[in-house]
Amino acid sequence: MSDITEYLLNHSDSTVVKVRFNDTDAMGIVHFMNYMMYFDDGFVSFMNSLGTSRKVEELIHQKIALGVKHVEVSYEGSARFGDYILVETTLEELGSKSMKFRHKLYRESDKTLLADVKAVRFVMDLNTKSLMNVKEFFSNFVEI
């Protein structure tokens, strides 16, 4: 296992997201689709916590996309307006063409598991419309 792979697979991050009024349905419960935004917040936080001066926001200007290929969600509980959600993110697998993230979303106040998300992502150069080698991308993105 390369140093970068080992570093990434051992790295974890957590961030907190506040449930906004417009995240909820008529019953005051977070609409299931909004969990996608929360795990995406977790992904961005994970990427920006990798000990590098580079940030995900820069990649957009460089026309590098970090796309989603597959998402699997297990909903375990409900969040409501005003709740704080703790998003814990880890990288479970790192291949040459894709990477598999795991996001666990908890209600911060009582640590109730709300959703368990597995997401497969890829890296694409939008200039050439071609997939990039994920390991090479991280070797250039992360400074270890």
Q: What confidence tens digit (pLDDT) does each residue in 67-100 have?
A: 999 999 999 999 999 999 999 999 999 999 999 9
End-to-end alpha carbon distance in the chain: 15
Total residue count of the chain as it appears in this document: 144
CB 90 within 8 A of CB 11: yes
Between 6-15, 43-52, 121-130, the lowest mean confidence (pLDDT) is in: 43-52
The pTM of this model reads 0.92
The CATH number that applies at residue 65 is 3.10.129.10
Range of the domain at 37: 3-141
Question: Phi and psi at residue 31, in whole multiples of 5°?
Answer: -65, 140
Total structural domains within the chain:
1
Give the count of beta carbons closer than 10 Å to the beta carbon of residue 126. 13
List, for residues 10-47, the tens digit of each pLDDT value. Answer: 999 999 999 999 999 999 999 999 999 999 999 999 99
